[in-house]
Amino acid sequence: MALGEAEADLAIINGSVVNVYTGEIEKASVLIKGERIAYVGKDADRAIGSKTQVINAAGKTLIPGFIDGHTHVDVLYSINELLRFAVQGGTTTIITESCTIATTLGYEGVIHFLNSVRRQPVKVFVTAPPMVTISPVTEENAIGVKELHHLFRYKEIIGLGEAYWGDVVGGNQRVLDLIAETIKLGGKVDGHSAGATGKKLQAYVSSGVSSCHEPTNAEEVLAPIKDSGIPLNRLAMSTDGVGPEQLVKDGYMEVLVQKAIDLGFDPVLAVQMTTINVAQHFALDDVIGGIAPGKYADIVILPDLKIIKAEYVISNGRVVAQDGRALIPPRKHRYPQSLQNSIRLPNDFSANDFAIPVEGSRKEAKVRLMDQVTDLLVREEFVDMPVSNGELNIDVSKDILKVAAIERSFGTGKSFVGLIRGIGLKKGAIATSSVWDCGDLMAVGADENDMARAVNRVRELDGGTVVCASGKILAEIALPVAGEISTEPMEAIADKLERIQRAAKDLGAKSNDIRLTIAVLPTPAIPFLRICESGLFSLRENRFVDLIVG
């Protein structure tokens, strides 16, 4: 077709094409045959025939489709719902983690997840789950080298997901083996090095990890980087997951690109950081990331290079969205009923299940408290708490509440209850089956009866997040797939999550995102004191520690 011996299927003529390889912007037409670009240049007329679809892009700018190099599509919403929003904004490739689904459903869950991302209007690649967890029960679901080999047979698998630095530097042999094997298999190893500096960071990098998406937040990092004079061809922008509310209100990758431009970045550089730089990192630049012969025809037509608002989105040679409207609906994947039955709690809970028994006839006990000092960070604190009838009491007036981690994926019946300060609830409780890096159900509450009610409602829903007070459900969302993912439209999810946030605020919750605050309690990704069904875990000491210390 490039030779002019065949007709183009699609021709985008007269536009300005951003050449991400050289940084130049060139007047050119683009000819597409099937899924691929065959020609970019001025001599396009010869290949435009009667069956060629022609888009006149005069005055418009063509950029490659955006590539999100790191996100989490196995949390809250299904891939088809994400794609409704991602594609219309110009994203044509997504590289997603699969850790959340692996945590609760193991290897089988990852296979189903792979099936869900296949045959979509845009490309979706997946990183295999290293599954770093503090929970000995959840660890049972972790994959080893054998399963990794199996996963690499799927063409969607292009690497290993983020293995938090603590476990890698600490010498978790299973994870180190997965990293070494991934590199041997030609895959990339995603990193998460927040908090690692100096020799620890170097030890982490030595393992073979080749990226980090956690240096700090965008506003803090982009401005100094822009003026550093350092070549930025190894820097990429990714979402790391966008919440449903933000997706519905603002959009997806296009928001990042627009933000970078608004911060003063050269628009071409902003495009490079979301296209060719990502492709090159994953060694996918032979096929995606630029507008050039032989590459997949993944192209976004903008009104102007500084206005990141897609008029056309072309993926695999097809127009998949126009003027913010998806033309090809994403494929809905039906998860089998077995995966929608992941809340394995044999019985309903009652207030008694949240009791913290104290031995002897003491009136007071010294307790290791989870001290919620920011929306995410939990420090270790020691306080004296009253004991009555052989049970530890909470103190709502001092914002010291109960926090429970209930194993819900394996039917072990294990659970652990501790104390947490800084959540802010004056009454009621919140429970959720959607948590990070652990197959537990988490609950926090100012009232044990409400904690039981909330947990029982999550059980009824086959997974979800529930806010209740005085025995009444105030807000809820069902997350029936793996206890993590809703089957509803994104707008409904966003709406329900907003109601949950509002209901929690009304009960006194301090966090700007109480859902996230509770979800991250068991993750080893965020310091310092963590909780799971087996107890309190100190990341500093890398071991379980006692709740009652004196």
| Residue 528: DSSP 8-state | B
> Can you tell me whether residue 99 is helix, strand or coil?
helix
Q: Which of 68, 71, 128, 74 is nearest to 96 (CA)?
A: 71
CB of 215 to a copy of itself, least distance (A): 14
What stretches of 337-377 adopt beta strand conformation (E)?
A: 364-372
CB of 369 to a copy of itself, least distance (A): 31
Q: Which is nearer to a copy of itself, 209 or 494 (CB)?
A: 209
- The binder of a copy of itself chosen from 215, 294, 413, 550 (CB under 8 A): 294
CB of 298 to a copy of itself, least distance (A): 15
- Sign, Cα dihedral of 477, 253, 305, 36: negative
CB of 39 to a copy of itself, least distance (A): 5
| Interaction of residue 205 with a copy of itself, rule CB under 8 A | yes
State the chain's maximal CA–CA distance in angstroms. Answer: 93
- The binder of a copy of itself chosen from 10, 11, 32, 38 (CB under 8 A): 38
Structural contact between residues 439 and 104, judged by C-beta atoms closer than 8 angstroms? yes
| Interaction of residue 221 with a copy of itself, rule CB under 8 A | no
Q: Which is nearer to a copy of itself, 209 or 507 (CB)?
A: 209
Q: Which of 383, 317, 336, 523 is nearest to 439 (CA)?
A: 523
- Sign, Cα dihedral of 132, 134, 135, 139: positive
- The binder of a copy of itself chosen from 36, 84, 457, 496 (CB under 8 A): 36
The one-letter code for the residue type at 293 is P
Q: Which of 349, 401, 412 is nearest to 517 (CA)?
A: 401
| Interaction of residue 215 with a copy of itself, rule CB under 8 A | no
- Sign, Cα dihedral of 417, 484, 248, 488: negative
Structural contact between residues 106 and 79, judged by C-beta atoms closer than 8 angstroms? no
| Interaction of residue 546 with a copy of itself, rule CB under 8 A | no
| Interaction of residue 338 with a copy of itself, rule CB under 8 A | no
Sheet of strand 391-392: strand arrangement: 391-392, 378-388, 364-372, 415-421, 400-407, 440-445, 429-432, 464-469, 472-478
Residue with tokens 């050289």: 22
- The binder of a copy of itself chosen from 22, 338, 341, 512 (CB under 8 A): 22
Q: Which is nearer to a copy of itself, 37 or 435 (CB)?
A: 37
| Interaction of residue 49 with a copy of itself, rule CB under 8 A | no
- The binder of a copy of itself chosen from 35, 41, 139, 174 (CB under 8 A): 41
| Residue 530: DSSP 8-state | E
Q: Which is nearer to a copy of itself, 159 or 439 (CB)?
A: 159
10 Å Cβ neighbour count for 155?
10
CB of 3 to a copy of itself, least distance (A): 5
Scan residues 131-170 and list those touching a copy of itself (CB under 8 A): 169
Instruction: Give how far Cα 290 sits from Cα of 116, 271, 277, 296, 309, Å.
Output: 27, 10, 10, 9, 18
Q: Which is nearer to a copy of itself, 66 or 152 (CB)?
A: 152
| Interaction of residue 336 with a copy of itself, rule CB under 8 A | no
Give Cα 117 to chain centroid, integer Å.
15
Q: Give me the 2-21 binding string for a copy of itself, x by CB under 8 A, dash otherwise.
A: xxx----------------x
Q: Which is nearer to a copy of itself, 206 or 470 (CB)?
A: 206
Tokens of 59: 């005055």
Structural contact between residues 214 and 193, judged by C-beta atoms closer than 8 angstroms? yes
Scan residues 348-387 and list those touching a copy of itself (CB under 8 A): none
Q: Which is nearer to a copy of itself, 234 or 332 (CB)?
A: 234
Using the contact rule CB under 8 A, the part of the chain among 32-40, 104-112, 330-338, 500-508 near a copy of itself is 32-40
Using the contact rule CB under 8 A, the part of the chain among 51-59, 227-235, 243-251, 459-467 near a copy of itself is 227-235
CB of 212 to a copy of itself, least distance (A): 13
Q: Which of 417, 373, 448 is nearest to 548 (CA)?
A: 417
Scan residues 167-186 and list those touching a copy of itself (CB under 8 A): 169, 183, 186
- The binder of a copy of itself chosen from 34, 49, 140, 202 (CB under 8 A): 202
> Can you tell me whether residue 238 is helix, strand or coil?
coil
CB of 37 to a copy of itself, least distance (A): 8
| Interaction of residue 210 with a copy of itself, rule CB under 8 A | yes
Tokens of 457: 């409602």
- Which residues contact a copy of itself by CB under 8 A? 1-4, 21-24, 36-41, 43, 169, 183, 186, 188, 198-200, 202-203, 205-210, 230-231, 233-234, 280, 283, 286-287, 292-294
